[in-house]
Amino acid sequence: MNAFAYRDGHYYAEDVAIQQIADAVGTPFYCYSRAVIEARYDAFADALRGFNALICYAVKANSNQALITLLAARGAGADVVSEGEMRRALAAGIPASKIVYSGVAKTVREIEFALQQDIRQFNVESEQELETISAAAVRLNRTARVAFRINPNVDAGTHEKISTGKSDNKFGIAIDTATAAYDKARKLPGVEVCGVDLHIGSQIMNLQPFAAAFTRIAELTQELKDAGHTISTIDLGGGLGINYDPQNDKAPSAADYARIASETVGHLNCDIIVEPGRSLVGNAGVLVSQVIYTKTNGTSKFLIVDAAMNDFLRPSMYNAYHSIVVGRQTDAEEELYDVVGPVCETADTFARKRQLPRQEAGDLVIIEGTGAYGSAMASTYNTRPLIPEVLVDGDEFRVIRRRPDYDSMIALDIPWDAAD
């Protein structure tokens, strides 16, 4: 579903005009649709109905408590990559029995915290990590349920900075050495082998890489079972892409994804874990900003808005395309704008040569598809406060993260004299 649309020439989120929210909270801000998030989760749940499946939301996509709580109420688990994300998931009501812990550099402290919570599964990324988990489990008199994250050496066909399943990526253990790793795990105290795991990348728009990776994992799973290992769970990871450009993108559906899973691993009689993040929340959010100035330098016309790269990093970091629309439709002549922010970096650019109706100071500009990896990657660069987040539910909206004031930001610093 698309909850963001024009009505009588004004941009709406569900049944609330974006201008109304801007007047109440100020710009810039993130706005999320509850209806979209719940519809996306339900689409995955329906598609995976033929499996004994657990949908673990990838918290790194957007870690706001309100969104995690919505998904927890729907039955979601959580895929986390740090102690902080684990604490957020637990605080939002996700039980430890539905939490899987991924990440290449789990520290001893983080491992001990996860063991104390008795989480469902560690997705182990190296033999050194396995040994650390074993030692911590013995110290705490706990049992760690583990699955090795397998690197299947599959090119996901996505941006090189979000590819995770190739042999030269830092993630997982090589599929060729997996059997030896499982043999080692079987001998270590405090460890219970329960499954296999993979994740080949993010924003994947073609099902073929999934099919190739899942097929390799299915073959490995059968080999491990034949060797006497108990493999009860296959964690297929996440990575399903979304449509950032409505005119040109065509992302696979959750049903398409589930069909590939059924064809490749469905015969193995294993529980299935999937870890969607972007595909649940990406198109559920927009970034709303206000035009500060317009100017022309040479042949370039600049639309300077009050949102910046510190608020939304993806265009600067990945050259990511996001559709940009205006808050109010008009008959004004269209212009080709470079849409830029106020940060002192040329990289602080959201789009180049984007055709939009002529804009003036005070007009609203909306960057769509920002529900994932927007607020989660934000910073306070240039001492710019983190921006508010708002959740819309029908004709109501609520601030789910406040904008901090400058005094509270600066108070985090300890002057040299005060440190003495």
Contact in structure between 28 and 48 (CB atoms under 8 Å)? no
CB-count exposure of residue 253 (10 Å: 0-12, 13-18, 19+): middle
Contact in structure between 280 and 35 (CB atoms under 8 Å)? no
Question: What does the DSSP assignment read for 289-302?
Answer: EEEEEEEEETTEEE
Question: What does the DSSP assignment read for 217-269?
Answer: HHHHHHHHHHTT----EEE----B---SSTTT--PPPHHHHHHHHHHHHGGG-
Distance (Å, whole) CA 209 – CA 290: 40
Residue 393: closest CA among 246, 284, 254 = 284
Distance (Å, whole) CA 204 – CA 211: 12
What is the DSSP-derived secondary structure letter of residue 385?
P
> Which tokens in the block code for residue 55?
């949908």
Residue 287: closest CA among 58, 32, 34, 62 = 32
Where in the sequence numbering do the catalytic residues fall? 344
- For the chain, report the end-to-end CA distance as a whole number of angstroms: 57
Q: Which residues, in sequence order, are CB contacts of 131 under 8 Å at separation 6+?
A: 188
Distance (Å, whole) CA 165 – CA 169: 7
CA dist 29 → 130, 182, 366 (Å): 42, 47, 10
